[in-house]
Amino acid sequence: METDIFSDSSALLDALKKANASTIKHHGSNATLERAVFLSWWCGKGDCDFCYLSTQRHRIKDPAKARRRVSSVLAEVEILRGIGWRVEFLSSGYGSHSIEELQRIAQMVSYVSGDGVWLNVGVLSDEQLRAFGDEIAGVVASIETLDTELRKRVCPDKDLKKSVEMLIEAEKLGLKKGATIVLGLGEDESQIPALLDFVRSNNLDRVTVYSLNPHRGTPLGNHPPPASLYQAGVIALLRLNFPKLEIIGGTWIDQLPNIGIMLLAGANAITKYPLFSMFGNRYGRKVEEEVRYSNRQLLGTFSDMDVLAGRKKLPKNRDPRCVRKCMKPRIPGTIAEEVESMRGEIDDKIRSYVETVEKRAKKY
């Protein structure tokens, strides 16, 4: 299929139109809200040009202290479940937790969310992958870019070969496989065929297409995020080449107008938003408007304070756990007991998150 859709506006519009039709045909018209749940601010590599964690590495003296409390993670997951957002994946930098710790957290998150969890915690070996059980739905390889020269500069310690090996092992274990890419790192559309080849050769189930969020203090802190139509065009080409692929589009709070066009281009879900700064205020409502004008039905809510505070439940037709098939993982009873033993702490944290959101919603 032709990938040069950017030098001719009719080709781009045609690709968007066909991608939209393919998305509706194969996935229907629902759109979900996703959120990566962070476990730690530590990364043992800490040298990627676009990553916020790279600005923190020298400040963190004790990696163990950079971890989030498990009760805080679970409070966030419980809120996500209530408002109908999906946990996109559990995310951490390299070396923040042992495999045993990651498994325990994944089991607890899976118990609270009621769904299998994806992991995006760096490259995992065959042996490490085998340590996990039913709580894991899939693994994500952080690819970022397939431009070989650019990779050496922007994420010098991320070994693409090792990521591919992880995906191969994951497939053998029957796990789903995903990848993240970041647009706007300095690549251009000439890299799109390599991306399509990568998705094909690794038989990926899911791809997250982020736009660069230029973090202050990183070498890319002053780079512009990619054009909305470039991000949409990449998504459209993914959709046209892989009709059944799950595509998640990620933009930051300053790129909200990208949402509508990403959905028309074939994104099934959107991600990367600072939930607690945007929920219920003009930013959260803007997201909902973007979804509405792309003729998609939003699952979950970005604005209903009663749902957030637990005073009201989401209607079943807006709850992704009712609309989409969940994994229904088998979680050991001891994990359930462990979560419930933290109930007081989790509830306190939920109350504190809800209060923060309510204050911010009044401000904007």
What does the binding site for ligand SF4 look like in residue numbers (CB under 6 A)?
Answer: 43, 45-46, 48, 51, 53-54, 93-94, 142, 155, 158
Q: Identify which of residues 93 and 250 has a Cβ nearer to ligand SF4 in the complex.
A: 93
Q: Identify which of residues 138 and 329 has a Cβ nearer to ligand SF4 in the complex.
A: 138
Element (H, E) at 230: helix 228-241
Picking from 6, 9, 23, the residue whose alpha carbon sits closest to that of residue 238 is 23
Coil, strand or helix: which one is 198?
Answer: helix
Q: Identify which of residues 70 and 220 has a Cβ nearer to ligand SF4 in the complex.
A: 220
For residue 228, CA distances in Å to 44, 45, 251, 260, 340 come to 33, 30, 10, 10, 44
Where do we find the tokens 């933290």?
342
Q: Least CB distance from residue 138 to ligand SF4, whole Å? A: 18
Q: Least CB distance from residue 160 to ligand SF4, whole Å? A: 13
The token duo for 19 is 């991608």
Number of helices (H) and strands (E), helices first, in the chain? 16, 9
Picking from 165, 255, 164, the residue whose alpha carbon sits closest to that of residue 209 is 255
Q: Least CB distance from residue 163 to ligand SF4, whole Å? A: 11
Q: Least CB distance from residue 99 to ligand SF4, whole Å? A: 17
Q: Identify which of residues 46 and 266 has a Cβ nearer to ligand SF4 in the complex.
A: 46
Q: Least CB distance from residue 104 to ligand SF4, whole Å? A: 21
SS (H, E, C) 65-116: HHECCHHHHHHHHHHHHHHCCEEEEEECCCCCCCHHHHHHHHHHHHHHHCCC
Q: Identify which of residues 73 and 240 has a Cβ nearer to ligand SF4 in the complex.
A: 73
Q: Identify which of residues 43 and 261 has a Cβ nearer to ligand SF4 in the complex.
A: 43
Q: Residue 24: which residues within 8 A CB-CB, separation 6 or more?
A: none
Q: Least CB distance from residue 121 to ligand SF4, whole Å? A: 9
